[in-house]
A and B are shown apart, each in its own frame.
Chain A
Amino acid sequence: MTVAFFLLYFVVVFAIGIWSMKLTRDESDYWIAGGKLGWLLGGATIAATHVSAGSFIGTIGVIYTAGWSFAWIVLSIPLAYWFMAAVLAPRFTRTRELTVSAFLESRYESLALRRLSAVVILVAIVVFVQAQIVASGLVGNIVFGISREWAMVAFTVVLLAYTAMGGLFAVVYTDFFQLLIMVAGVLLALPIAVHQLGGFDALFTYVRAVKPETFTWGSFPPLHLFTMGIAFTLGTVATPEKLVRLYSMKDMRELRRGVLFAFVAATGLNLTIFVIALTAIVLFPGLPTGDLAMPLVARAVLPPLLGALLLAAIASAIMSTVSALMLVAGSALARDLYGTFRPASTDRERILVGRVGVLLVGTAPLVLILSGVGRGELVQFIVLLYTALMASSFFVPVVLGVYWSRATKAGALASMTGGVLTCFAWKLFGASRIDPVLPGLLASFALFVAVSLVTTKPSEKAFAPFAS
């Protein structure tokens, strides 16, 4: 039954991809859905993109392994989106570019910055998507009984097919469908899993007995949580797939409502998933990795149809995030790198180049994973490096770029380069109790301000659209 359910699920997302092709008439449709999204679709795609394997596999694994204190990290979600709606979006959306790199080029009048940011996006997304692909291997292995490697290949093929065909319209409509599956999956799974243990009181009693440190600050003291929370908040604000969604919204009114819908859905989903993690602590103590907790709940605790629905929810979380990232990485390759060297003359050619770009960057993470690169860490911590990299490279040039007229292209280039290098260096050599985002962001900010102040004042034209 689970296999049939999944095949039906794949058919639906594939059909949405084909149908969305008809909606795509020009490049703006392909990359930002024509900038016509209302709050429901726009909010759903933000939420579905936000909720990834990081929530369904990684975070639940951290709660399972390290305890409930990690749940406090969800507060970074509403705070990050509020910041986007209140501070960033009102100025950022005054121009409507197709990519974040194109925004950087027009704001700083620098093609080099556009290309550099595209390279950063490509590298960071490949890292992030690897984590998601690993998680898809877990799900596919449980659902179909095939090897993780084949499961990863199958997921990538389905994802690439609908993303490359339909562009952001396909991603948005599949995201809406996938968000419904996620909400239905966790809302139905939670009461059944809790009921099997005899209700909430019994659940908490069992959890205390099996793992007494669950409801303590234990593995994540408040200061550590705070720095991780900053990493998540800043990373959420600065990730290109979220910034592009701001461009895809119809106007600020729809954007504010969409953001509300997005953070309520994403935070609510995360908190519900965390409670399911508590049931896994009782039902499956001593797992070799916490990453197995959610798939096991789906497989061993729930009735077959509900188990299939929860596994489809996990698959949805992975696919909705990866499709968004593949599209952003595809745009970085097709528009911001290839397109700036060899601009295509017609919309049709540009969309074709975009589709090829999506196919190329979508295959890269799979090839890397299958060749053994990027394995062995809990998924959530790979996700954390992605958000740290994004925050260290994009937060300062994007957010300060729309507020500070004195910012120069040399400042932005130094900020992005210094932020990324510091982030990587800290991850490799720095103290592990301090998240790489903090030194990365500090370096990015210091270089941005210092280099901007010592270089020639930029033209007023570049900042004019963002001036108050």
Chain B
Amino acid sequence: MSGEAFIFWGPFVAFAAVTVLYVIWMWRVERGDGE
């Protein structure tokens, strides 16, 4: 990936990754809570 492509796509990819991780965290917390 070129430096230019990294600068442009980086925020989109990182945002998608953080969102997926949050959903997994939420699912694990609520399973642990017994909700």
| 0 or 1 for each of B20-33: is its CB under 8 Å from A? (1 = yes) | 00110110011001
Shortest CB-to-CB span from A190 to chain B, Å, is 14
Which residues of A (257-311) have their CB < 8 Å from a CB of B?
A: 257, 260, 263-264, 267-268, 271
Q: Whole-angstrom distance between the alpha carbons of A79 and B3 in the complex?
A: 24
Residues in chain B near residue A217, CB distance under 8 A: 7
Residues in chain B near residue A263, CB distance under 8 A: 19, 22
Shortest CB-to-CB span from B5 to chain A, Å, is 8
Write the residues of chain A forming the contact surface with B, with a CB cutoff of 8 angstroms: 68-69, 71-72, 74-75, 78-79, 82, 85-86, 215-217, 252-253, 256-257, 260, 263-264, 267-268, 271
A75 close to B14 (CB less than 8 A): yes
Q: Which of A68, A253, A264, A271 contacts B35 (CB 8 A)?
A: A253
Q: With A68-B7, A82-B22 in contact, is A271–B29 under 8 Å at CB?
A: no
Q: Whole-angstrom distance between the alpha carbons of A72 and B19 in the complex?
A: 15
Q: With A75-B15, A78-B15 in contact, is A256–B8 under 8 Å at CB?
A: no
Q: With A253-B30, A253-B35, A256-B30 in contact, is A74–B11 under 8 Å at CB?
A: yes
Write the residues of chain B forming the contact surface with A, with a CB cutoff of 8 angstroms: 3-4, 7-8, 10-12, 14-15, 18-19, 22-23, 25-26, 29-30, 33, 35
Consensus secondary structure, chain B interface? helix
Shortest CB-to-CB span from A40 to chain B, Å, is 16
Residues in chain B near residue A75, CB distance under 8 A: 11, 14-15, 18
B22 close to A260 (CB less than 8 A): yes
Q: Whole-angstrom distance between the alpha carbons of A216 and B3 in the complex?
A: 8
B15 close to A69 (CB less than 8 A): no
Residues in chain B near residue A78, CB distance under 8 A: 15, 18-19, 22
Residues in chain B near residue A216, CB distance under 8 A: 3-4, 7
A86 close to B25 (CB less than 8 A): yes
Residues in chain B near residue A252, CB distance under 8 A: 33
Q: List the A residue with the shortest CB-CB distance to B2.
A: A215
B30 close to A82 (CB less than 8 A): no
Residues in chain A near residue B26, CB distance under 8 A: 85, 256-257, 260
Query: Given A71-B11, A82-B18, list of 7 further CB < 8 A pairs?
Result: A68-B8, A72-B14, A75-B15, A253-B33, A256-B26, A256-B30, A271-B15
Q: List the A residue with the shortest CB-CB distance to B35.
A: A253
Residues in chain A near residue B4, CB distance under 8 A: 215-216
Shortest CB-to-CB span from B4 to chain A, Å, is 4
B12 close to A271 (CB less than 8 A): yes
Residues in chain A near residue B11, CB distance under 8 A: 71-72, 74-75, 271
Q: Whole-angstrom distance between the alpha carbons of A267 and B18 in the complex?
A: 11
Shortest CB-to-CB span from B35 to chain A, Å, is 6
Q: Whole-angstrom distance between the alpha carbons of A216 and B7 in the complex?
A: 7
Residues in chain B near residue A257, CB distance under 8 A: 26
Shortest CB-to-CB span from B24 to chain A, Å, is 11
Q: List the B residue with the shortest CB-CB distance to A72.
A: B11
Q: Whole-angstrom distance between the alpha carbons of A343 and B1 in the complex?
A: 63
A72 close to B10 (CB less than 8 A): yes
Residues in chain B near residue A69, CB distance under 8 A: 7
Q: Which of B19, B25, B30 contacts A264 (CB 8 A)?
A: B19
Q: Whole-angstrom distance between the alpha carbons of A69 and B6 in the complex?
A: 10
